[in-house]
């Protein structure tokens, strides 16, 4: 079960990362710095965005409207 959840999570993260436009990144950037940990941000800077997506899931109610729309547009 854990393996399936991990695989689905990786697929979602990969799909969202590929589909990002500069406008979408700009919509969520303030939320990243406001809500996510320094470690999650550092890992994202090195290409591992899984922590950012975990942060967004944890703080879904705190996301800006613009970032929430971006995530919804990508099925997250």
The pLDDT of residue 15 is above 80? no
Per-residue model confidence as pLDDT tens digits over 18-60: 557 999 999 999 999 999 999 999 999 999 999 999 999 999 9
Determine contact, residues 25/33, Cβ cutoff 8 Å.
Answer: no
Q: What is the mean pLDDT of residues 9-21?
A: 52
Burial of 21-53, coded b for 16+ CB within 10 Å and e otherwise, reads eeebeebbeebbeebbeeebeebbeeeebbbbb
Point out the least confidently predicted range of 1-10, 13-22, 59-68: 1-10
């Amino acid at each position: 079960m854990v393996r399936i959840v991990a695989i689905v999570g990786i697929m979602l993260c990969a799909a969202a990362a590929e589909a990002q436009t500069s406008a979408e990144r700009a919509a969520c950037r303030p939320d990243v710095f406001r809500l996510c940990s320094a470690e999650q941000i550092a890992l994202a800077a090195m290409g591992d965005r899984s922590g950012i997506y975990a942060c967004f899931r944890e703080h879904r109610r705190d996301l800006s409207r613009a970032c929430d729309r971006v995530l919804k547009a990508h099925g997250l």
